[in-house]
Amino acid sequence: MNGDGRGTVIDRETLMTWARSQGVRVRVACEDWESITYETLARQPDGTSLIQRHRWVLPEPITRRRLLMTYVVGLSHEVDGAECNHVRRIVPPVLSSADEAARHDVALVAAAMVEVERRAVCGATVDNLRVYTVERAVHWRPF
């Protein structure tokens, strides 16, 4: 751990053991097709927060499958007469979903993520975001 209350844990089992000893839960902080980052937040006796993280790099066969299942979702909304665009890479919550259901699910997840991350900055909400593309990451081309 460094001086800012953040630390990186060497392995997942150590993180789980530490979380149990602190009485805190482990959550997924970040996820993409290559890795999953787990995080815990514990309040220390002096009132400060201690964040511990572990990034688990997935085995290659799983990485390949997740890349094939990942979608790129493009969303936009209007801000003061201009168009504000947001793009997110999303792995469907249910990997076995049919393509149409997966596209719907990833659009919802992407809109929720944009609202949480950007609402205070640009006013993005699930209600004002418009989905303009949902493509598999392996097929997506930015231009």
Q: What is the mean pLDDT of residues 56-75?
A: 90
As a whole-number percent, the residues of the chain with pLDDT over 70 amount to: 92
Name the phi and psi angles at 136, rounded to 5. Answer: -65, 140
Residue 4's pLDDT is what?
46
**Which DSSP letter does residue 65 get?**
H
pLDDT at 8: 66
Domain ranges across the chain = 6-62, 70-136
Residue 31's CB is within 10 A of a number of other CB atoms, namely 16
pTM for the model stands at 0.66
pLDDT digits (tens, 9 = 90+) for 68-115: 888 999 999 999 999 999 999 998 877 777 889 999 999 999 999 999
Segment holding 113, helix H or strand E: helix 99-122
Decide if pLDDT at 10 tops 80.
no
Exposed, middle or buried: residue 56 (CB in 10 Å: 0-12, 13-18, 19+)? middle
Cβ atoms < 10 Å from Cβ of 19: 20
Would you tell me which CATH number, out of the four given (1.10.3470, 3.40.50, 3.30.70, 3.30.720), belongs to the domain 6-62?
Answer: 3.30.720
Contact predicate 127/114, CB 8 Å: no
